[in-house]
Amino acid sequence: MPLPTAHSTVVPEARRRPTTKLYLRPLAVLSREAARQALAAGFGLPLGRAGAFLACELSCRGSGSLEQKVLPTAELRAWAAARGSAFEQALERQLARLANPAPMPRLSSCPGKAATGPSIMGVINVTPDSFSDGGRFLDPGAAIAHGERLHDEGADILDVGGESTRPGAAPVPAEEEIRRVVPVVRALAGAGRPVSIDTRKTVVMRAALDAGAAMINDISALRHDPDSLAIAGASGAPVILMHSRGEPATMQHRPHYERVSLDIFDHLEQRIQLWESAGFARSRLLLDPGIGFGKTLDHNLEILQRLDLYRSLGLPLVLGVSRKSFVARICGDLQETERLPGSLAAALFGLAHGISLLRVHDVGATRQAVRLWQAITDASVDCLQRSV
């Protein structure tokens, strides 16, 4: 495989930054036997437990500019050394996280189960107004039955939410949200199903955890309530920190970023640092760039194109693209239930670029696509092994 040649661009930035920050995105990624041979031959750098990368994109942001450069991995350390010890330290820190990322955390409801491949989170909206299935599962009995179907179709985690966070949605009082979700969480968790609570409210987190929820999925990255960090941290449960901007009712009103992929990286990194400074284990976190939450179509596409960037944070990555409006913006005027092919395309692209957990409505179809993707990947490895 030919290596990308060195290339750099400089783009003006709207806001001056006092220091220059380094971001690293792995490119020319190999897996399994190909990665092992590349590393044994002395070229490429390790990426996770069975991967390698041969080149990377370096972004340096600060002092009013954004510089981007693509280099072969063999030149990385010399490049950093020429720029000083701060760059060398930043490079080594990110290379270490790329080489040894945290695994998917185990849930307390199934402590013996370790993920061996991409995981699937099934969506259960106990709401009257969610963008895709609002009203279908507002009745607790219907929501519980739906959760059991998703489990039977292959969902590893069931994500129960009682407040729609679609663009334009109005907030729901905490008492009503608790009334919606707790019976569903209690029934599914009581049946031994791994359950996540999708909420940004501390009191709802607490009630759902008491009812048996084993994971917290917060679109505000624990910013919405002042007590969220303490409650989530003390729970011992894994937590998904998602990037979003503004409130659901207004988040799609002209969202603006300097560089959306880098701004999201900075936001997630800051939330991780706050979590760690409170004394909680980094290994309990998962990260979601928040497709569609305060982003335009162009923002969403840039995030997807640069998903590998977030691998240098060293934590499992979550992707929620299921049935979202950007699919219809690209593929035509499609209703939510007509967006499965586009959702699968985006999901499989995510898996190829480091995603560990897919949050989806269509569990059975996604499980089938993931199994085929894994089989093709494994078959290509077998062919390579037989040829050497």
Q: Which of 66, 99, 132 is the last residue of a domain?
A: 99
Greater model confidence, 285 or 384: 285
Residue 90: pLDDT band (50, 70, 90) is very high
Query: Is 385 a domain residue?
Result: no
Dist. CA 38–CA 30, nearest whole Å: 8
Q: Are residues 78 and 136 in the same domain?
A: no
* 3-class secondary-structure state, position 23: strand
Instruction: List Cβ neighbours of 37 (8 Å cut-off, separation of 6 or more).
Output: 388
Answer yes or no: do 162 and 19 share one domain: no
Range of the domain at 54: 7-99
Catalytic residue among 201, 206, 259, 324: 324
Distance CA 272, CA 241 (A): 8
pLDDT of residue 377: 80
Nearest partner of 215 among 101, 106, 366, judged by Cα:
106
Residue 147 counted as domain residue = yes
Q: Same domain for 71 and 19? A: yes
**CA–CA dist 388, 385 (Å, integer):** 6
How many Å apart are CA 305 and CA 318, to the nearest integer?
Answer: 15
Q: Does a structural domain hold residue 243?
A: yes
pLDDT value of position 135: 61
Q: What is the pLDDT of residues 97-145, one digit of tens each?
A: 999 999 999 887 665 555 567 999 999 999 885 555 556 778 999 999 9
| Residues 307, 121: Cα–Cα separation, whole Å | 19
Other beta carbons within 10 angstroms of residue 305's beta carbon come to: 12
Last residue of a domain, one of 43, 70, 99: 99
Domain membership of residue 105 (yes or no) is: no
**């011992």: which residue's tokens?**
236
Domain total for the chain?
2
Neighbours of 260 (CB within 10 A): 23
103-117, 324-338, 346-360: least confident range: 103-117
Q: Examine the domain organization and report whether 23 and 165 are in the same domain.
A: no
Residue 64 lies in a domain: yes
In sign, the C-alpha dihedral spanning 44, 46, 52, 57 is negative
Q: What average pLDDT does range 325-352 have in this prediction?
A: 93
Shared domain for 211 and 277, answered yes or no, is: yes
* Same domain for 224 and 163: yes
Same domain, 185 and 76: no
What CATH number did the domain enclosing 269 receive?
3.20.20.20
Q: Is residue 2 in some structural domain?
A: no
**Residue 387 domain-assigned (yes or no):** no
Residues across the chain:
388
Domain membership flag for residue 384? no
Tokens of 357: 């957990």
367 catalytically annotated: no
Locate all alpha helices (DSSP H) within the chain, ordered by sequence.
Answer: 32-40, 76-83, 85-99, 140-153, 174-190, 202-210, 228-235, 260-277, 297-305, 325-331, 340-352, 363-387
- In this structure, the dihedral spanned by the alpha carbons of residues 241, 247, 249 and 253, taken in order and rounded to 10 degrees, is -100
CA–CA gap between residue 312 and residue 113 (Å, rounded)? 26
- Using one digit for the tens of pLDDT, what is the confidence trace for 153-183? 999 999 999 998 877 778 899 999 999 999 9
- For residues 56 and 191, state if they share a domain: no
> Are the C-beta atoms of 281 and 272 separated by less than 8 Å?
no
Positive or negative: CA dihedral 333, 335, 340, 344: positive
What is the reported pLDDT for 110?
62
Listed residues 70, 99, 128: the one ending a domain:
99
- Give backbone dihedrals phi and psi of 52, rounded to 5 degrees, phi first: -155, 160
Residue indicated by tokens 């048996």:
212
Active site residue 254: no
Question: Is residue 10 predicted with pLDDT exceeding 90?
Answer: no
Overall average pLDDT of the 55-73 stretch: 92
HSE of 11 in the Cβ direction (CA atoms, 13 Å)?
11
DSSP 128: S
Say yes or no: 71 and 124 in one domain: no
pLDDT at 8 (0 to 100): 42
Residue 266's nearest CA partner among 297, 287, 235 is: 287
Among residues of the chain, what percentage have pLDDT more than 70? 88
pLDDT given for residue 131 in this prediction: 52
Please report the DSSP string for 97-110 in residue order. HHHSPPPPPPPTTS
Do 295 and 175 lie in a common domain?
yes
Taking CA atoms, 260 is separated from 121, 178, 294, in Å, by: 25, 34, 10
User: Counting runs of H as helices and runs of E as strands, what totals does the chain give?
Assistant: 12, 13
In terms of domains, do 142 and 288 share one?
A: yes
Query: Residues 61, 284, 359, 367: which is the catalytic one?
Result: 359
Give the integer Cα–Cα distance in Å for 151 and 170: 30
Residue 318 DSSP symbol: E
- Co-location of 81 and 199 in the same domain: no
